[in-house]
């Protein structure tokens, strides 16, 4: 895996030189492309420098042990050798992870759909709590949350909510949230104090750009109507809501959160592109599934991925068998330990597959 690392060092030096060229600076598209490549390569090159420094320390320590007779200096060399060898193992593992093929969608914004599943009003109430959890989570990255459509149940719950999260790397973290989220608790409306189980489904899709998906307008039926539900004065009094029907797939998109019909239409087309793009990703996933030993992210949307148990104050992620007794903090947006563990598990599975392929 390290064969091309010296080439990457040369490449980043070339990029650094190009970024100071006035002709490149004046070409915004080329400049942005080079900045993105520099950002991607820098962590790898810096880690490779650490790797070479550790290797050099090992060589120097071994040479010192061969040539030195002074016992104190030899002991010091032994300590440096042991530390450098331990460090080298860690750095090698980190380098392997950095060199894993990147998901091309990781840097994209995401569109998230949350739907109440089994459990009626209780499921809708929990769907709102899941929406709030994601709002709190993305706040720490200063990402932006923008509603596309919402269908409320009248008592503070969401039957369905569709929203966009805008921020660098949003998909790289949020993609692990796709699946069925299960809640176990005593509903406020339950007089007998029995624990109910309800479900909420979450779908996370990378935002598709126009270059990713070409939509034939002949395949689209566009309807405009008056928005329903809560909103500003204009929202409920003008025909601002837009519904798109993609005839070949039967996908229906509804956007109503903006006062302007044009803005709602723009949002609806953005969501339709992402849904069509996601369909292609799912086809690829299904085609490759037989060859994959493990897939933590962007898997089967019907898979039960997580349970939120209120009586025990615990959250369990079933994909990695991780249980945390910090339910309140997690629902308040503290998803870092869960998502970091999922990323680590995903990387470990990919590394195992790479190692297995290299041995065959």
Whether 340 and 210 share a structural domain: yes
Q: Is residue 197 part of a domain?
A: yes
C-alpha torsion sign, points 59, 63, 65, 66 = positive
Output the pTM of the full model: 0.76
Distance, CA of 136 to CA of 165 (rounded, Å): 12
Shared-domain flag, residues 272 and 128 = yes
- Per-residue pLDDT at 178 exceeds 90: yes
Residues 134 and 278 in one domain: yes
Q: Are residues 218 and 155 in the same domain?
A: yes
Report if residue 356 sits inside a domain: no
List strand residue ranges (DSSP E) for 230-357, in order. Answer: 241-246, 251-255, 304-309, 314-317, 322-324
185 within 8 A of 196, measured Cβ to Cβ: yes
Kindly indicate the confidence band of residue 294, based on its pLDDT and cuts at 50, 70 and 90.
Answer: very low
Q: What is the mean pLDDT of the chain?
A: 86
- What CATH number is associated with residue 43? 1.20.58
Q: Do residues 85 and 114 both lie within one domain?
A: no
Mean pLDDT, to the nearest integer, of 60-71? 87
Residues 90 and 126 in one domain: no
Find the CATH number of the domain harbouring 288: 3.30.70.1660
Q: Which residues contact 119 (CB under 8 A, 6 or more apart)?
A: 126, 183, 196, 197, 198, 199
Q: Based on the structure, what is the number of domains in the chain?
A: 2
Residue 343, token pair as written in the block = 């990323």
Q: How many C-beta atoms surround the C-beta of residue 224 within 10 A?
A: 13
Which pLDDT score is estimated for 289? 58
In this prediction, residues 180-208 reach a mean pLDDT of 87
Q: How far is it, in rounded angstroms, from Cα 334 to Cα 137? A: 6
Is residue 16 domain-shared with residue 72, that is, in the same domain? yes
Collapsed DSSP state (helix, strand, coil) of residue 193:
coil
Q: CA-to-CA distance for 124 and 188, rounded, in angstroms? A: 13
Together in a domain, 339 and 255: yes
Examine residue 48 and state whether it is found in any structural domain, yes or no: yes
Asked which of 43, 73, 98 is the last residue of a domain, the reply is 98
Of 175-179, 200-204, 264-268, which gets the smallest average pLDDT?
264-268
The reported pLDDT for the residue numbered 358 is 67
Query: Is residue 256 domain-shared with residue 120, that is, in the same domain?
Result: yes
Residue 124's contacts (CB-CB under 8 Å, 6 or more residues apart) are 116, 152, 153, 155, 157, 158, 159
Q: Is residue 104 part of a domain?
A: no
7: confidence class by pLDDT, cuts 50, 70, 90 = confident
Please determine, for residue 181, whether its predicted confidence score (pLDDT) is greater than 90: yes
Does some domain include residue 354? Answer: no
Residue 301: phi and psi, rounded to 5, are -70, -20
Residue 229 has pLDDT above 80, yes or no: no
Q: Worst-scoring range by mean pLDDT, 49-53, 56-60, 104-108, 185-189?
A: 185-189
Looking at 33, 64, 98, the residue that finishes a domain is 98
Boundaries of domain holding 16: 5-98
* 304, pLDDT greater than 50: yes
Cβ-Cβ contacts under 8 Å for 85 (sequence gap 6 or more): 58
Q: Are residues 70 and 122 in the same domain?
A: no
Comparison of pLDDT for 282 and 324, the residue scoring more: 324
The pLDDT of residue 232 is 42
Task: Provide the pLDDT confidence category of residue 13 given band limits of 50, 70 and 90.
Answer: very high
* Same domain assignment for residues 160 and 294: yes
Nearest-angstrom CA–CA distance, 123 and 157? 8
Quick one: 224 and 308 in the same domain? yes
- Is residue 296 pLDDT above 70, yes or no? no
In this structure, is residue 80 part of a structural domain? yes
Query: Could you write out the DSSP letters of every residue in 3-30?
Result: TTHHHHHHHHHHHHHHTT-HHHHH-HHH
Residue 103 in domain: no
Within a domain: 358? no
Domain stops at, among 70, 98, 126: 98
């Amino acid at each position: 895996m390290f064969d091309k690392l010296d080439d990457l060092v040369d490449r980043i030096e070339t990029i650094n030189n190009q970024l100071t060229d006035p002709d490149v600076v004046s070409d915004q598209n080329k400049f942005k492309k080079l900045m993105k490549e520099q950002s991607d390569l820098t962590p790898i090159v810096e880690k490779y420098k650490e790797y070479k420094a550790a290797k050099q320390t090992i060589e120097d320590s071994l040479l010192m042990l061969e040539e030195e007779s002074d016992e104190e200096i030899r002991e010091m060399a032994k300590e440096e050798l042991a530390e450098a060898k331990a460090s080298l193992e860690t750095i090698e593992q980190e380098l392997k992870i950095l060199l894993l093929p990147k998901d091309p969608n990781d840097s994209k914004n995401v569109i998230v759909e949350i739907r109440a599943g089994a459990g009626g009003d209780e499921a809708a109430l929990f769907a709102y709590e899941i929406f709030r959890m994601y709002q709190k989570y993305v706040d720490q990255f200063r990402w932006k949350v923008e509603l596309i459509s919402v269908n409320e149940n009248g008592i503070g719950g969401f039957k369905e909510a569709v929203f966009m999260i805008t921020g660098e790397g949003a998909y790289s973290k949020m993609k692990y949230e796709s699946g069925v989220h299960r809640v176990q608790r005593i509903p406020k409306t339950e007089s007998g104090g029995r624990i109910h189980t309800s479900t909420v489904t979450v779908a996370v899709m990378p935002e598709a750009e126009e270059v990713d998906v070409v939509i034939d307008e002949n395949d689209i039926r566009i309807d405009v109507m008056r928005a329903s539900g809560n909103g500003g004065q204009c929202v409920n009094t003008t025909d601002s809501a837009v519904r798109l029907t993609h005839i070949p797939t039967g996908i229906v998109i509804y956007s109503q959160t903006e006062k302007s019909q044009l803005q709602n239409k723009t949002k609806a087309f953005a969501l339709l592109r992402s849904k069509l793009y996601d369909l292609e990703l799912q086809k690829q996933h299904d085609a490759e599934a037989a060859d994959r030993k493990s897939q933590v992210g962007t898997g089967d949307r019907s898979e039960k991925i997580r349970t939120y148990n209120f009586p025990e104050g615990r959250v369990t992620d079933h994909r990695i068998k991780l249980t945390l007794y910090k339910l309140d903090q997690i629902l308040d947006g503290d998803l870092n330990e869960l998502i970091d563990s999922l990323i680590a598990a995903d990387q470990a599975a990919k590394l195992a597959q790479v190692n297995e392929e290299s041995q065959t």
